[in-house]
């Protein structure tokens, strides 16, 4: 588990104040006087965390927050506010001792991997954090509003474990181990000028990952062309890809950049043959002749293809050209369904809600931010998300619009809670508040509701549909489940 410890600084309070209600602003100003700006460049911890893959962040402070609940709602769900009772905030020794005790408590006696964000808070805090950092796996500093990692003198490089995302992938949200693995592999893929194939279910961010790989492996202004393969017409293919005497084609436009072939599995066989012909001699670059020209031209570009289907299976069914598959799949990556990285769901939900809140704050100065309740968050985690991240975004958007209060509750979520099959129940993630008794009870209640609806409210008929002996047996079952008549 990757853990980060940081100190509450001026910039955290400043960022929080932008969305705080008027009554809280005066309290924030008082605390800002107590927590002066950190040395050098700085930024709020919440804004820095997209650069990293920490599973838990502890934001330590020695000042009691009158607006604790609102502050916790504003913080990312992987950030926890921790109060330390310190008598003299100017005493580095006392701060260091309290830090060691708290960090040892959280990390089980310094047995877990953890990092320290060093240059935050007043100088006495920085001194104390620097000393405690000697016990950590690594430590971090803020430079130019960017999180950077370094080693302290005497640390063993072999024990150094990076938790930062590869350069260029900061906008890919995730803190789970599953996200760490795919981003690590994507970071390696970006460094090599070879074709990359990204497969995965719809809504898992294949195109977003492809764009990040192209940006990370190119110069700042390198061209990028995204081709929707489903829209390719074999009759216009040569003009579109190779160009003509009077217009540049895609291959010319992507020179020194990247070409994304989005949903390559949607290409018909004729287009696949044309792609194969065009890319037959591709080795990081290719030679081609525009339509109507005799002279060949060259273009150097990186190919990244995406697919919602397993192309190997399509090859075995003779629905995809094997030679084209091997041309595109030098490096293969597979995005992860949301149901298999449930730890990222609260983080993604917070990100989407933050965007919606900012939008509405811009439109209405008196707008009060909406948050999501713990019970609603648990419901999000337990949902199977067949539409993955795209579905999560839509669900939160609707809940945000139609919820009446400032807190989105479980009942505000427009998630279809139809009957769960045995197969679906087996896919519900374990270890995230899973309760077998509760799951079985919910399944029973769902079937009872369906039976009563199918029987037009007649309990005797509903009991027969459920295989129960009588409506009295159904009544008894409903009472045991706490169901109202």
Q: How sure is the predictor about 103, in pLDDT bands with cuts at 50, 70 and 90?
A: very high
Residue 476 pLDDT:
87
Neighbour count for residue 297 (Cβ, 10 Å): 17
pLDDT over threshold 70, residue 42: no
Calculate mean pLDDT across residues 468-480. 86
Calculate mean pLDDT across residues 355-377. 84
**What is the residue whose two structure tokens read 């809504």?**
203
Q: Which pair of tokens denotes residue 152?
A: 């302290």
The predicted-structure confidence for 131-168, as pLDDT tens digits, reads as follows 888 887 788 888 878 888 876 666 665 655 678 899 88
Region label for 467, one of left (φ > 0), alpha (ψ between -120 and 50) or beta (otherwise): left
pLDDT over threshold 70, residue 63: yes
Nearest Cα residue to 61 out of 79, 75, 43, 82: 82
Calculate mean pLDDT across residues 402-424. 71
Residue 240 pLDDT:
93
In this structure, are strands 331-334 and 3-7 parallel, antiparallel, or unpaired?
unpaired
Q: In what order do the strands lie in the sheet with 56-61?
A: 79-83, 56-61, 3-7, 114-117, 138-143, 146-150
Q: Where are the alpha helices (DSSP H) in 107-139?
A: 123-132
Residue 431 pLDDT:
61
CB 311 within 8 A of CB 265: yes
**What is the residue whose two structure tokens read 């080795």?**
283
Least confident of 81-85, 116-120, 389-393, 476-480: 116-120
The predicted-structure confidence for 74-89, as pLDDT tens digits, reads as follows 888 888 989 999 988 8
Least confident of 30-39, 68-77, 194-203, 360-369: 30-39
Residue 427 pLDDT:
56
Q: How sure is the predictor about 419, in pLDDT bands with cuts at 50, 70 and 90?
A: very low
Residue 433 pLDDT:
62
286 contacts: CB under 8 Å, gap ≥ 6: 251, 278, 279, 298, 299
Q: What SS3 state is found at 419?
A: coil
Region label for 154, one of left (φ > 0), alpha (ψ between -120 and 50) or beta (otherwise): left
The predicted-structure confidence for 422-437, as pLDDT tens digits, reads as follows 445 555 666 656 677 7
Range among 62-71, 248-257, 463-472 rated most confident: 248-257
pLDDT over threshold 50, residue 421: no
Mean pLDDT, the chain, as a whole number? 85
Neighbour count for residue 41 (Cβ, 10 Å): 13
Calculate mean pLDDT across residues 114-139. 83
Residue 469 pLDDT:
82
Q: Where are the alpha helices (DSSP H) in 35-67?
A: 45-48
pLDDT over threshold 50, residue 264: yes
Calculate mean pLDDT across residues 401-430. 69
Q: How sure is the predictor about 277, in pLDDT bands with cuts at 50, 70 and 90?
A: very high
Range among 88-92, 195-199, 422-426 rated most confident: 195-199
Which residues face 114 on adjacent strands?
Answer: 3
Higher model confidence: residue 300 or residue 76? Answer: 300
For 324, list phi and psi in degrees, rounded to 5.
Answer: -70, -40
Calculate mean pLDDT across residues 414-427. 51
Q: Which pair of tokens denotes residue 22?
A: 């008027």
pLDDT over threshold 50, residue 344: yes
């Amino acid at each position: 588990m990757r853990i980060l410890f940081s100190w509450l600084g001026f910039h955290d309070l400043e960022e929080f104040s932008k969305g705080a209600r008027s009554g809280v602003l005066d309290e924030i100003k008082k605390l800002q006087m107590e927590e002066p700006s950190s040395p050098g460049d700085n930024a709020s911890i919440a804004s820095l965390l997209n650069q990293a893959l920490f599973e838990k962040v502890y934001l330590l402070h020695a000042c009691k927050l009158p607006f604790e609940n609102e502050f916790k709602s504003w913080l990312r769900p992987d950030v926890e506010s921790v109060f330390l009772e310190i008598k003299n905030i100017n005493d580095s020794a006392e701060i260091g001792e309290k830090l060691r005790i708290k960090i040892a408590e959280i990390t089980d006696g310094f047995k877990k991997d953890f990092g320290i964000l060093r240059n935050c808070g007043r100088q006495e805090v920085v001194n104390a954090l620097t000393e405690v950092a000697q016990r950590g796996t690594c430590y971090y500093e803020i430079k130019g509003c960017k999180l950077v990692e370094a080693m302290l003198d005497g640390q063993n490089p072999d024990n150094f474990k990076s938790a930062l995302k590869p350069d260029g992938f900061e906008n890919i949200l995730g803190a789970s181990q599953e996200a760490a693995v795919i981003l690590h592999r994507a970071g390696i893929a970006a460094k090599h000028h070879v074709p990359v194939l990204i497969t995965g279910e719809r809504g898992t961010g294949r195109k977003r990952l492809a764009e990040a790989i192209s940006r990370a492996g190119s110069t700042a202004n390198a061209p990028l062309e995204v081709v929707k393969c489903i829209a390719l017409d074999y009759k216009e293919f040569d003009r579109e890809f190779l160009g003509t005497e009077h217009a540049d084609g895609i291959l010319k436009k992507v020179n020194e950049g990247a070409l994304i072939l989005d949903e390559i599995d949607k290409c018909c066989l004729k287009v696949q043959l044309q792609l194969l012909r065009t890319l037959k001699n591709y080795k990081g670059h290719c030679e081609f002749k525009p339509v109507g020209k005799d002279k060949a031209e060259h273009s150097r570009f990186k190919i990244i293809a995406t697919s919602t289907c397993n192309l190997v299976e399509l090859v075995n069914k003779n629905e995809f050209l094997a030679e084209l598959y091997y041309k595109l799949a030098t490096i293969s990556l597979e995005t992860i369904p949301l149901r298999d990285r449930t730890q990222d769901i609260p983080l993604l939900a917070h990100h989407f809600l933050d965007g919606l809140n900012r939008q509405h704050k811009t439109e209405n100065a008196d707008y009060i931010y909406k948050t999501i309740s713990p019970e609603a968050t648990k419901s999000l985690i337990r949902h199977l998300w067949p539409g993955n991240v795209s579905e999560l975004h839509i669900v939160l958007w609707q809940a945000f619009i139609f919820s009446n209060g400032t807190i989105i509750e479980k009942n505000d979520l427009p998630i279809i809670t139809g009957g769960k099959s045995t197969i679906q129940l087996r896919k519900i993630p374990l270890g995230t508040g899973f309760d077998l008794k509760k799951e079985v009870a919910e399944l029973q209640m769902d079937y009872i509701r369906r039976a009563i609806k199918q029987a037009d409210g007649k309990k005797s008929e509903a009991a027969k549909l459920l295989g129960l002996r009588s409506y009295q047996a159904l009544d008894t079952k409903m009472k045991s489940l706490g169901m109202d008549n």
